[in-house]
Amino acid sequence: MTEVVPLALLVLAAAVLYSSVGHGGASGYLAAMALLGVSTATMKPTALVLNVLVATIASVQFLRAGCFSWSVFWPFAVTSVPLAFVGGAVSLPGALYKQLVGVVLLYAAWRLFAEAHGPGRTPRNPPLVAALPLGGAIGLVSGLVGVGGGIFLSPLLLFMGWAETRVTAGVSALFILVNSVAGIAGHLASLALLPPATPVLALAAFAGGIVGSSYGARRLATPTLRRLLAVVLVVAGVKMLAQR
């Protein structure tokens, strides 16, 4: 119980913040598990399962609010899903997995600090020549690490002017959902490694997803909250990189 309660609280906090911007929270869950010394074999399937739960809630909330664009979503998803399946099927050695997760967590922290904003022009649909390979690359990395890819897709859409902020959140939510499902499908046997505390963590993620996505569909998370989470990600990322 002394290990489950802190982890559940961290999962709850990550789910609230991430779902408010249309994300599933996998990098936050990975950070929480890294901080508390959870086994690397357990981290990937646990993060993906919680991601599916929260991304489903966020997708429904943002779709109901009209924050979505099919023309932005499908060119990235059509290549990311099969490669997320491939990445999910790959079990990296423990040391290599820790290094890759550490890099992803530090990248996520940088993105939260940077608070990417799209350029002040009318959004345009992403060209297929760029979206297809980028979607594939994001999907592969997502499957390997155990994230949904929203931390890569969101800043890309905003920087390139392919979607405004709320549409980006809605597109990212569904993108994360389909990639997380594909990642799990790529290695269903990994579900046997889920910890006994998974129902408790799922309940915390569910509650956080409801609160965060309900808020985010109307008003995105504050910069202060994002920076606080970024600090946690930096600590967890450095810890993962320091391990062998």
pLDDT tens by residue, 153-179: 988 888 888 988 788 889 999 999 999
Kindly provide the b/e burial profile for residues 188-204, where b requires at least 16 CB atoms within 10 angstroms of the residue's own CB: eebeeebbebeebbbeb
Please provide the average confidence, as pLDDT, over all residues in the chain: 88
pLDDT tens by residue, 190-203: 999 999 999 999 99
pLDDT at res. 117: 47
What is the pTM for the complete model shown? Answer: 0.88
Which three-class secondary structure string do you get for the chain? CCCHHHHHHHHHHHHHHHHCCCCCCHHHHHHHHHHCCCCHHHHHHHHHHHHHHHHHHHHHHHHHCCCCCHHHHHHHHHHHHHHHHHHHHCCCCHHHHHHHHHHHHHHHHHHHHHCCCCCCCCCCCCCHHHHHHHHHHHHHHHHHHCCCCHHHHHHHHHHHCCCCHHHHHHHHHHHHHHHHHHHHHCCHHHHHHCCCCHHHHHHHHHHHHHHHHHHHCCCCCCHHHHHHHHHHHHHHHHHHHHCC
- Would you say residue 235 has pLDDT above 70? yes
Structure tokens at 168: 């980006």
Would you place residue 80 in the very low, low, confident or very high pLDDT band (cuts 50, 70, 90)?
very high
- Percentage of the chain lying above the pLDDT 90 cut: 54
Q: 76-90, 197-211, 216-230: lowest mean pLDDT where?
A: 216-230
